[in-house]
A = this chain, B = another copy of it.
Amino acid sequence: MTTKPVLIDGSWVEADAVGTFQAMNPNTREPMDETYPVSGWGDLDRCLNAATEAAEELRLCPGKDIAAFLEAFAEEIETVADELVEMAHQETALPVSPRLKDVELPRTTGQLRQAAAAAKTGTWRQATLDTQLNIRSGYLGLGPVAVFGPNNFPFAFGSVSGGDFASAIAAGNPVIGKANSSHPGTTRLFGEAALRAIEKTGLPRATVQLIYRTEHSDGVRLASDPRLSALGYTGSRSAGLKLKAAADEVGTPIYLELSSINPVVILPGALLERGEELVGEFAGSCLMGTGQFCTNPGIVFVIEDSNSNKWLEGVTKAFADTAAGTLLSTGVEANLKDGIDELVRAGATRLTPAGEAATDRCSLPNTLLSVSGSSFIEKPEAFQAEAFGNESLIVVCSGLEELVSALRLVEGNLTGCVYSAADGSDDDAYQSVESVLRTRVGRLLNDKMPTGVAVSPAMNHGGPFPATGHPGTTAVGMPASIHRFAMLACYDAVRPERLPSWLQDDPGEELIWRSVDGTYQQGSLG
């Protein structure tokens, strides 16, 4: 069995491998056919050198050329859509339709096209002109970016196809992708499509490079290598924090999306008004994709009364009656089982029957747990440990005061939801909840579950540590996600013809929005 090559400096070459691995089909627990290399440092070293060279060229590349590549890449992806969907289904067990084919793939090509539009107009640069003092500034690509993709979105967050990738490229940086080792075949198909798009559009060949897996120590070494300019990582907290420590020490920007349990507060009036409806809404959101979303509602706060008791019974029944989906891998399965066991050991009560992993595929029964508000307050860390998958913990509080006290102990999360009565009877309670929850979550929702993450300029898929590494940035939503991978570049009295086009009097792109002497405007200086 031959080992698949890696993509370095524009060619598929034999890896400088220190081992090999195979992905597994979670629906069968059988290994996949293809064998992939575990790259040694030599591969990363070559990637860094090639990316460094490509970066100098890319930084000066007109936005329309970057855009042409991103658009060509989206088209190349569409030509191999069936193959991608089938491979991803084999490697992740995520459903073909609607999930992979009708939702995640169009979202992925849509993101690439949004990135193309952003690269073309250049508004993402936040160009700021002081014409009196002749000082002009804006964001500029900063060099080689590494992207480590997660297991749960093989397309939309993929290391050479997803949001971090699209953002880094749009800013004019070369990307070194490290595949998630649960879906190397899917990532390979993206790498092949990217190289075809590079060839068609003439960007530097090292604009996109791909390796499949490294030793952990080499990942850390990559994060601290002076040739690396920034890093995007989506995945587990423990691995992410090791990369963060390495990058922080050398001052390299790192953008993390780590664990998040996404607190949901359901106030009494909402349960009185529409408790039954909220059974379906919550269970549907929590079990969708077998609970394997970064924004899965993993913890719910309610106040004990007859309506919340009834709601809890309804959700318990819904969890028990819904067939458990397949999990992404044996690793996810084992972590979920451990996570549930730890919550139970900490004092959570199982509302759904305990069950064993399925033998024929990666799966655990849908699990609903509950704990009292006072117990949560006693051990807030233990009850906020993420159990990634089809599980949720309900915190039943004795009253609003206890609920608010519990919320004060909630860590940084991507999202927070508050359900309240339509008739205004919860409005005072809402204020108390919001004042605590607002600064603990990146996205606050009303009467809506958090699992949909629209790719909108107004989206924030981010939040305070430890959900991410910085509360001021988002991984989803053009153009805000782009300048994470850029530096603020100021030009002070630089001669006009030496300015990048987007800072010249005539920016050469009539759609770019620029702040000129405090006024936003498009087109040439008038």
Chain A: residues with CB nearer than 8 A to chain B?
56, 59-60, 128-130, 133, 135-137, 139-140, 142-143, 229, 244-245, 248-253, 412, 415, 430, 434-435, 438-439, 442-448, 450, 454, 456-460, 462, 464-466, 469-474, 480, 483-484, 486-495, 498, 513, 515, 518-520
Contact = CB atoms under 8 A, between A and B. Distances in A.
A497 to B, nearest CB: 9
Given A483-B472, A487-B472, A59 B439 contact: yes
Identical subunits present: 2
Nearest to A244: B248
6 contacts: A128-B457, A128-B480, A245-B249, A442-B488, A444-B490, A447-B493
A113 to B, nearest CB: 14
B251 A490 contact: no
Given A128-B480, A472-B484, 12 more contacts: A59-B439, A130-B454, A133-B454, A136-B458, A142-B439, A143-B439, A444-B492, A446-B494, A447-B493, A457-B515, A472-B483, A474-B488
A457 B447 CA distance: 39
A445 B133 contact: no
Given A137-B459, A251-B466, A439 B487 contact: yes
B443 A490 contact: yes
A458 B129 contact: yes
Give the most central of A244, A460, A513: most B CB within 10 Å: A460
B252 A133 contact: no
A488 B468 CA distance: 12
B494 A459 contact: no
B471 A253 contact: yes
A492 B463 CA distance: 14
A434 B494 CA distance: 11
Given A128-B457, A130-B458, A498-B430, A443 B493 contact: no
A380 B489 CA distance: 24
Query: 6 shortest A-B CB distances, which residue pairs?
Result: A251-B465, A460-B490, A520-B520, A471-B487, A130-B458, A443-B490
A136 B443 CA distance: 10
A445 B133 CA distance: 12
Given A439-B143, A487-B439, A494-B445, A253 B470 contact: yes
